[in-house]
Structure 1
Amino acid sequence: MAAPSYKFQGWLGLDKNAVEGKMEWQEYEPKTWTEDDVDIKISHCGICGSDLHTLRSGWGQSIYPCCVGHEIAGTAVKVGKNVKHIKVGDRVGVGAQSGSCLDCEECSAGLEQHCTSMVGTYNGKYSDGSKSYGGYADYCRAPAHFAVKIPDELSLAEAAPMLCGGVTVYNPLVHNGAGPDKRVGIVGVGGLGHFGILWAKALGCKEVVAISRTNNKKEDAMKMGATKYIATEDEGWATKNARSLDLIVSTVSSPNMPLQQYFQLLRTQGQFIQVGAPEDKIPAFSAFALIAKGCKMGGSAIGSPADIAAMLKFAVDKKVHPIIQERPLKDANNAIVDMENGKARYRYVLVNEKHASELKA
C-alpha cells in the first residue's frame, strides 16, 4: 500500500497532566490500514466530557500517548475497496465507537455499542494490536462501518457534537418512549443536557423539565424548549415536584447526585436512565424508592451507527440546532481547561481552520 500524502498528527496526552492543558502536538502511527477503513480529513471535532476523563485516566489507566476527540466530522479522503456506503469526498462523521466484532448477538441486532469487543474511537486497541486515535488532529483512520454520512442540511460544526453527545441523549429518549404523552425530565443543563432538552422538545413531549443544581441556567433552558425548571438548591424541590415525571434522563457525571430525591420525581412505573458516567460510585439508595412505585433504573450507552444516522435525519427533519462555541484546534489546550471549568455554552467544537477553509473555498 502506498503511503498517504498526509500525516497523522494531533494533540497527544502524554500523561494524566495533559488534562491541565498540557497536550503536545505530535505525529503518530494510525491503525493499520485495511480495505474496510476510511481516512477522514478532519474539519471539526466536538469536545466531550469523556475526553477529560480519559486525559486524566479518570475511568482507569489510559493508553498514553492518546489523542482524544470522538465527535469527528470531516471529508473522506481515502476509502477502502470493501466500503460501499461512503466514497471519497463525502461528508462523514465518527462518534465514540470505531470497532466491534460485527458478529456477536449484539452486533447482529444493531447494538454494536454493547459488543464485548467494542473499540473506542480513541484510547482503544484493535484486534491487530494497533491503537485508536481521536479527532484533536488533522486526520482520522477508522473502520468505515462506524463512519456515518452527514446530511448536507447540517453544518459539520453542528453535526460533530451530535455524534457522541447528541446520540448519547437521543437514544435513551427514543428507546424509552419519549413523545407527546410523556413528561420528561433532563438532569443537568450542560453539553449533554442541552441536547436532551432540544430532543425532548422536538419529540413533542407533553412536558420537558430541566433539572439543575442552581437557577443560573433557567433562562437558557427555557429558550431551548423546557416547559419547567427545577433547581435542586431550592428547599423542598423533590417534595414539591413528587410523582410528576414519566422518564428522567440523567446526564450528570458527579457522583454526588441526590439520587433518592430524583426517584421521588418519578410517577408510578416511571423510568430513570443514567447516561453520565461518574468516575466514582453513585450514592446508595433505598430499594423502596423503586419498589413502591414499580419504577425502573437503567443506563444507556452512546448509539450504533444506525442510531446516529437516524438522529441526524431527525435533526434535519425537526430543524434541531445545538448551541455550540467554535474554538480553533490550535487552542485545544485552552479549550479543554475552559471545558473543565464549566465555561462551555453548551458544546465546544474544535475547528481545524485549514481544513474548514478548504471546504468553503
Structure 2
Amino acid sequence: MEEEGNVLGWAARDTSGVLSPFIFPKRGMKCDEVTLKVLYCGICHSDLSTIKNEWGNARYPIVPGHEIVGIITEVGHAARKFKIGDKVGVGCLAGACFSCGSCRLGDENYCSKLVSIFNGSHPDGSQTFGGFSETMVIHEHFAVRIPETLPLDRVAPLMCAGITVYAPMRRHGLDQPGLHLGVLGLGGLGHLAVKFAKSLGTKVTVIGWPDMEKDAIEGLGADSFIVSGDEGQMKAARGSMDGILITSSGALSLRPLLALLKVQGKLVLLGVPSSPPELPTFDLVSGGKSISGSMCGGLKETQEMIDFAAEHSITPQVEIIGMNDVNSAMHRLEKGDVRFRFVIDVANTIRATGARA
C-alpha cells in the first residue's frame, strides 16, 4: 500500500501511449471541493489520441480518463451539492472561470479558461490527472448526480459520449418528434446517438459501412441504414434529413453528406476529422444549410442528459475490463475492435494487478 496522500493511477510517459502504474500526490481538497473514489472509467478515442500525442498537446506523464463514475468519500466544508456516499459522474471538465459569457449561460465547456480533467493545469499550475486512478479531487460544480436506477458499470460513457451526442440534438432543435436525423458512424458516440434520438421520437438513419447495418437496425432500432459509399443509396436519400451528427473522426467528404440534408438542414461535427475536409460553399449557400461543431456539454445539460437516460433506460453497450487489460484495450480501440465502449472496473482492479510504479 502506498503512503497516505499519494494516489495510484496508470499513466503514459511518451508517445508510445503505453500505460503503466504511476504514483502522484493527492491534490489538497479546497472548501468547495469533494473527493471521490473512482469506481469505473470509460475509454474514449480522445484518451488514445492524447496519450499518443496525435494532437500535439501532450504533457507527460498523462493519466487519462474523462468518463468517470465514483462515490463521494470526502466533502469540503463549503460544498453543499453532495454528501458522503453519493454516486456521481465526472466528465471532461475540471474547472472554468464561472464569470464569462459562456459560463453564465451554462456553457462551461466553451469557457476560454476551461480546465480539462486530464492533460491540463489547474490555476495554481498543478497538472490534472484523470479517471485511470483510484481517487480524484474535483470542484463540486463539475460532478453530476447519478440516479439510483442507472447501473454504475454502464453509466461512465454517458459522461462524454452521451452528452456529446445529446447536447447538439437539444441545441440545434434536432430533438423534435417526427424529424429525420442522420448519424454518421456507429461507435461509442454513434450508438448512443441512435438510442437518444429514438427516445426523443425522431426517425434515425445510420450512415456507415455494411458491417454496421445489423447492429444499427436490429440491435439499436434505427429506422434505416445507408452504406456511405453506395452512390445509389446516397442518391435515393437526398434531401431527406433535417440534420446529421458526424460521430466519426476519420477522413470526411462533406458534399455527399450535405446532399442528404433538407433545405436549411444542419451538419454537426462531434469530432475532429483526420484531415481538413473541403468546404463546398455553393452547396451550403444554395440550400441555406449549415455546418457547426459541438464539444461535450455544460454541467446543467449533462445532469439533464443523465436524468433523461435514467427515465428512458438508456445505457451504452460496454465491455468491462480490468486495469491490467488497458493497453490491449487501447490497441483494440485503435483498430475499431470494440462494441461499443470499454469501461475499466477501476475500484476492483487497480490494486489487484500486482504492478508497482
Deviations 1:138-189 (A, max 9, x none): 1122222101111111111111000011000010112212221310001110
Deviation (angstroms), 1:29 = 2.5
- Residues 1:257 and 2:256 are matched in the alignment: no
Aligned equivalents of 1:78, 1:17: Cα separation in 2: 36
Aligned equivalents of 2:233, 2:5: Cα separation in 1: 56
Aligned equivalents of 1:76, 1:181: Cα separation in 2: 41
Q: Which residue matches 1:11?
A: 10
Q: 175-184 or 264-273, which moves further after superposition?
A: 175-184
SS in 2 for 1:242: coil
Q: Which residue matches 2:161?
A: 165
Match of 1:96 among 81, 92, 96: 92
Aligned equivalents of 2:347, 2:105: Cα separation in 1: 39
Q: How does 1:4-153 map to 2 (within 5 A)?
A: 5=4, 7-18=6-17, 22-153=18-149
Deviations 1:114-133 (A, max 9, x none): 10000111000011111110
Match of 2:313 among 319, 326, 329: 319
Q: Which residue matches 1:359?
A: none
Is the CA contact 2:182–2:207 (under 8 Å) kept in the aligned structure 1? yes
Deviation (angstroms), 1:285 = 2.6
- Residues 1:339 and 2:333 are matched in the alignment: yes
- Residues 1:193 and 2:218 are matched in the alignment: no
Counterpart code for 1:108 = R
Tell me the TM-score normalised to structure 2 length: 0.94
Counterpart code for 1:86 = F
Deviations 1:8-57 (A, max 9, x none): 11110101101xxx211010124443112221111100000110110011
Distance 1:355 1:36, change over 3 A: farther
Q: Which residue matches 1:276?
A: 271
Deviation (angstroms), 1:299 = 0.8
Deviation (angstroms), 1:354 = 2.2
Q: How many equivalent residue pairs?
A: 348
Q: Which residue matches 2:177?
A: 180
Aligned equivalents of 1:88, 1:60: Cα separation in 2: 39
Counterpart code for 2:272 = A
Deviation (angstroms), 1:88 = 1.1
Structure 1's consecutive aligned runs of 4 or more residues displaced over 4 angstroms after TM superposition are none
SS in 1 for 2:287: coil
Aligned equivalents of 2:280, 2:42: Cα separation in 1: 38
Distance 1:145 1:353, change over 3 A: closer
Q: How does 1:166-315 map to 2 (within 5 A)?
A: 166-177=162-173, 178-205=175-202, 207-212=203-208, 214-222=209-217, 223-254=219-250, 256-278=251-273, 280-315=274-309
Is the CA contact 1:31–1:142 (under 8 Å) kept in the aligned structure 2? no
Deviation (angstroms), 1:61 = 2.6
SS in 2 for 1:216: helix
Q: 258-267 or 27-36, which moves further after superposition?
A: 27-36
SS in 1 for 2:284: helix
Tell me the TM-score normalised to structure 1 length: 0.93
